[in-house]
Amino acid sequence: MSEKKAKDSHQSEMEYWREDVETIRSDSRHGSIYLSNRALDIVETFVEKQLYRNRTELIQALSKLSNALVRAKPLMALIYNRTRFVLDYIQNIPKEQKDIAAIRKSTLEEIKRLRSTADDNVKVITRWGCRLILDHHVVFTHSASSVVESILLEARKQKKRFRVICTESRPLNEGADMAMRLAKAGIKVRLIPDSDMARAVNECNFVLTGTDRFTETSFINKTGTHSIAVLAKEMNKPLYIAGETSKVLLKRTYPVRFSQNESAELLEKKVDNLQVDNFYFEEIPIDLADKIVLEDGVFELKEFIDRYL
């Protein structure tokens, strides 16, 4: 085999993960915590395989993998921050350490610690968020944030008496799926069409939503959240956002990029002169929020901005 063919073969072997990344790219059902965990699985498996011969090769290959994962879901700050965390860890290992097996072992241990910390953070956010729910409260939520769902389920475990209003969250109806899960857990839930959001905001005590990302001036969430936030501000209903601090990803670090999804989800037929827009996510001004629920506590908006943005 020629040197070029051997190099190409090694390159192809090193990039076995491309199909796995494509699976993440095409997954529109799951939220950022689930997909960032899957992304970390891919990174962990790559490190375990030890197809690289030295640290330089590991860093170069992992950079390529990280970039591919970030491009697959550019709005999900957790994927960016977790993959970059692993890269930074490897780059900060003292240069005197030449044993690639030792580097591999310590990196895998760091990934394990990262997972454990992330799981603990969600548990802490759940406890903080649960404190916001009082007996007889009506909580309105949009889409299907796993953190919001954890908060609501914890409130149920604590025997709080409250009700939830869920939007169907078209076009994938993940809000309807979450409504069924909450109802099965014994929570009183009302499912509404997205177009009925004004009445829901008027009836609720507060709006509780998750986020995929915090930027300098905004947060990213399911399309429809901006309208709900404006209604909440107009009707003097608080808007609370729950999310990890690792969802902070400033625009100057990585730009916000939205992509179109399948037009057939809204209209199967193609019609002349008719353009179908199907964006799953949107950018919402952060100043429409009242409180931010993090693993560090519940922050008033100004305090959150001063401390994290």
CB 4: neighbour CB atoms within 10 A?
8
Mean pLDDT by 10 residues, the chain (309 residues): 58 88 94 96 96 94 97 97 97 95 97 98 98 98 98 98 98 97 98 98 98 98 98 98 98 95 95 97 98 98 97
The pLDDT of residue 29: 87
User: Cα(208)–Cα(152) distance, rounded to whole angstroms?
Assistant: 10
- The distance from CA 237 to its chain's CA centroid, rounded to whole angstroms, is 25
- pTM of the entire predicted model: 0.94
CATH superfamily of this structure's domain 131-308:
Translation initiation factor eif-2b; domain 2 (3.40.50.10470)
SS3 8: helix
The pLDDT of residue 6: 52
The pLDDT of residue 1: 53
The pLDDT of residue 7: 59
The pLDDT of residue 14: 84
User: Cα(86)–Cα(59) distance, rounded to whole angstroms?
Assistant: 10
CATH number of 3-123: 1.20.120.420
The pLDDT of residue 148: 98
What residue ranges in 2-154 does DSSP mark as E strands?
A: 138-141
Q: Which amino acid is at 307?
A: R
Domain range summary for the chain, segments of one domain joined by +: 3-123, 131-308
The pLDDT of residue 147: 98
Dihedral of alpha carbons 288, 231, 277, 144, sign: positive
The pLDDT of residue 8: 55
The half-sphere exposure of 132 on its side-chain side, counting CA atoms within 13 A, is 29
